[in-house]
Amino acid sequence: MNARMLAWPMVIGGLFALMAVMAGAFGAHSLRGVVDGRGLEIFQTGANYQMYHALALILVSVLSGFSLPRRPLNLAGVFFAAGILLFSGSLYLMVLTQSPALGAITPIGGVCFIVGWVLVVITGLSAPKSPEE
């Protein structure tokens, strides 16, 4: 294992995870009674996907410490971060501003998440074979 890991995905992932917890609490406590049940559900979806992909960013950082190709891992981190901003961010804004048109941005964030996971798979497929194989 290489002692040098990509640090930025760990930092950004940790910050996004922190913000996901805060968003979840805000949605559960401050938005109840302010927005309808569907709005709360949409907001919670944003917080859930933000947390999943914040953890994915931390995974990218940890995986980068192994003998794996770094370029696709780095790109996966970029796509996960962009996905959080576009997917979760658009859902939060859609609920808070009551502007359904912002939902048009959400699928772009979803595609970013998909690309990030494809890059993680590519990283795994590109991993060097162990001497035992």
Domain that holds residue 35: 8-125
In a domain, 131, yes or no: no
User: Is the model's pLDDT at 49 over the cut of 60?
Assistant: yes
The mean per-residue pLDDT over the stretch 47-64 comes to 97
User: What is the C-alpha separation between 75 and 41, in angstroms, rounded?
Assistant: 30
* Tens of pLDDT, residues 74-120: 999 999 999 999 999 999 999 999 999 999 999 999 999 999 999 99
The mean per-residue pLDDT over the stretch 15-36 comes to 96
Burial class of 48 by CB neighbour count within 10 A (0 to 12, 13 to 18, 19+): middle
In a domain, 93, yes or no: yes
In a domain, 116, yes or no: yes
The mean per-residue pLDDT over the stretch 28-39 comes to 94
CA neighbours closer than 13 Å in the CB half-sphere of residue 113: 20
Number of domains in the chain: 1
Count CB neighbours of 128 within 10 A. 10
Closest CA to 60 of 7, 126, 128: 7
Per the model's pLDDT, the better-predicted residue between 37 and 128 turns out to be 37
Distances (CA, A) of 20 to 9, 46, 47, 85, 100: 16, 8, 5, 12, 22
User: Is the model's pLDDT at 27 over the cut of 50?
Assistant: yes
pLDDT band at 129; cut points 50, 70, 90: confident
In a domain, 79, yes or no: yes
For the chain, the average pLDDT equals 94
For residue 48 the two structure tokens come to: 């859930």
Say what the pLDDT of residue 6 is: 87
In a domain, 68, yes or no: yes
pTM summary value: 0.93
User: What is the C-alpha separation between 11 and 30, in angstroms, rounded?
Assistant: 27
User: Is the model's pLDDT at 43 over the cut of 90?
Assistant: yes
Say what the pLDDT of residue 93 is: 97
For residue 121, what is the enclosing H or E element? helix 106-125
Distances (CA, A) of 107 to 29, 65, 81, 132: 27, 31, 15, 43
